[in-house]
A and B are shown apart, each in its own frame.
Chain A
């Protein structure tokens, strides 16, 4: 088990180093001159002012130092939690801007990911080898997984928000209410949360249901299932055994899907103008706020790494083979 975790942690550490390096490299080695772009964006006409700004930005990025020193400085600043200053909301540090938005993204993602995983697995397990259910769950599942996240969000907003008027269309809370610890605000917050949550939940649901259905069918065909039914074990018991085995690949699948799920949350937030990381990224792109964009990138990477690690722990709890150092879960 120690080997298992050591290996995992090594991979995550490497991934983090790669992510930071990519983050550092892209602005420096991409074709084009970000400093020139930023100076041009400020629309200053006097040549002295342009020169001063150029010097300021060069100093800020440390472009006048040797490359390896720039790289070390970048790490140094990062480890102190310094992500630079946002240009969009100027004097505010990027880390603060991101931390303000983070609760909204997490509040949206954690429930939708977990709930869709549980409900999807349950629906898929029920549907496997049951003709009528299978014929409804399977097509619905394929339709849902094929939908782009933002489209289902737009359709839900249109149907349940615009047409039916049940839920508000945009924002994290109403503009005429103060964010305080009150029931009125909590209700308002919840109302704004429902639609983005629902769209994230629905798209992810289909994939889990299909995966679980296929796994259960596979398990029901394996030798131990045949043996159990030959012994006369009730169908319920066989299905329970199959479920426990089928759930393992689904846990690994959750880790593999994290990137896609984050991407889905980002675009869904944009549709609903939900004040999380997705909306920040949109603002950063529209305002050419590269510090904010790069900070958001690192936040997402760190979040995904932590989630991966948590899933690894769950896997060890669920699969006894990893604990005794036998095969299984070697991914």
Chain B
């Protein structure tokens, strides 16, 4: 990854990158936290993308191997009590996990931005109402709401799961964006834009959002990680997607069929390690990003 940091920074320069962008890249390729976190996430993502097509079987839940076999050359992560290939489930599960993270994180980020920008920029009565809404959703325990919704959903799928997670997990981000917008809206360049007759959304997206783009990106990463964790809890309680497999559902079936009591560690260690690796790497990369964007934090 970091073998050729110097040229990497140079080659990016000519492509319309102004000085700030180049500087960001300069620090980005030299930040070990960012590189390690980013590498882990990309490796797992690639495993999720490339892994499934390389398997002999399209269905990860098919009974293919010997029953309850520990890891060996053929079945890299062993098999379940029923002879399902744990590795096959793992690579398919990674896909579901990334998908729920992207869908949930994106929906939450969009709602958070709409609410946060509007409340922070407009202020007054709009702010009061949106703030009240944010506080109410913030206090409601997300998982409990998701339990009720998912229990009544007849057919559950990963995107729908992501949708509902997104709909319940935006409040803290909306609050943070509101606070940032609040401090930006009295700056001269925003006043100038207002004087030149720009509308609310034009000012928000042309003047305010670009000034906090790094912040928005880091917020998305945290929302992504949060979605992955909530989804895994839902899956574990038995409200995962009705079809297919996810890392949380692997943990759930390991629990349901007493892998623990039978000592089948290869069944419950990989899925949890996968989730921990994705979320942990994202958090660490996020700290790295923070150091890249915020000069104050660079020298420790």
Contact bitstring A128-153, B, C-beta under 8 A = 1, else 0? 00000000000000110111111110
Q: How far is the CA of A297 from the CA of B132 in the complex (A)?
A: 22
Interface size class of B (residues with CB under 8 A): 35 or more
Q: A140 CB to closest chain B CB, in angstroms? A: 11
Q: How far is the CA of A271 from the CA of B248 in the complex (A)?
A: 13
Q: How far is the CA of A260 from the CA of B136 in the complex (A)?
A: 16
Chain A residues 14 to 39 lying within 8 A of chain B, measured CB to CB, are: 14-15, 18-19, 22-23, 26-27, 30-32, 34
Contact: B141 with A259, CB < 8 Å? yes
Q: How far is the CA of A48 from the CA of B284 in the complex (A)?
A: 63
- Which B-chain residue is minimally distant from A259 (CB atoms)? B141
Contact: B140 with A146, CB < 8 Å? no
Chain A residues whose CB sits within 8 angstroms of the CB of B172 once the complex forms: 256
Q: How far is the CA of A326 from the CA of B284 in the complex (A)?
A: 37
Interface-lining segment among B53-61, B118-126, B275-283: B275-283
Interface-lining segment among B108-116, B180-188, B262-270: B262-270
Q: What is the predominant secondary structure among interface residues of chain B facing chain A?
A: helix
Contact: A15 with B238, CB < 8 Å? no
Contact: A142 with B141, CB < 8 Å? no
> How many residue pairs, one in A and one in B, have C-beta atoms under 8 Å apart?
161
- B49 at interface, CB cutoff 8 A: no
Supposing A148-B233, A270-B236 touch, asked if A262 and B255 sit within 8 A by C-beta, the answer is no
Contact: B276 with A300, CB < 8 Å? no
- Which A-chain residue is minimally distant from B175 (CB atoms)? A331
- Which B-chain residue is minimally distant from A19 (CB atoms)? B140
Q: B250 CB to closest chain A CB, in angstroms? A: 11
- B153 at interface, CB cutoff 8 A: yes
Contact: A23 with B237, CB < 8 Å? no
- B230 at interface, CB cutoff 8 A: yes
- B212 at interface, CB cutoff 8 A: no
Q: How far is the CA of A130 from the CA of B19 in the complex (A)?
A: 35
Contact: A285 with B141, CB < 8 Å? no
Q: How far is the CA of A74 from the CA of B230 in the complex (A)?
A: 30
- A169 at interface, CB cutoff 8 A: yes
Contact: B141 with A150, CB < 8 Å? no
Contact: A26 with B237, CB < 8 Å? no
- A294 at interface, CB cutoff 8 A: yes
- A301 at interface, CB cutoff 8 A: yes
- B9 at interface, CB cutoff 8 A: no
Interface-lining segment among A59-67, A88-96, A154-162, A231-239: A154-162
- B144 at interface, CB cutoff 8 A: yes
Chain A residues whose CB sits within 8 angstroms of the CB of B277 once the complex forms: 146
Contact: A22 with B145, CB < 8 Å? yes
Supposing A169-B261, A256-B172, A263-B142 touch, asked if A22 and B148 sit within 8 A by C-beta, the answer is yes
- B192 at interface, CB cutoff 8 A: no
Contact: B139 with A146, CB < 8 Å? no
Write 21 A-B pairs (CB below 8 A) sorted by A numbering. Answer: A19-B145, A23-B148, A142-B280, A142-B287, A145-B279, A146-B282, A150-B236, A150-B272, A151-B251, A151-B276, A154-B251, A154-B254, A155-B269, A157-B260, A158-B263, A162-B261, A263-B142, A285-B238, A290-B151, A297-B147, A331-B135
B contacts, CB < 8 Å to A: 132, 135-136, 138-145, 147-149, 151-154, 172, 175, 225, 229-230, 232-233, 236-239, 248, 251, 254-255, 260-261, 263, 265, 268-269, 271-273, 275-284, 287, 296
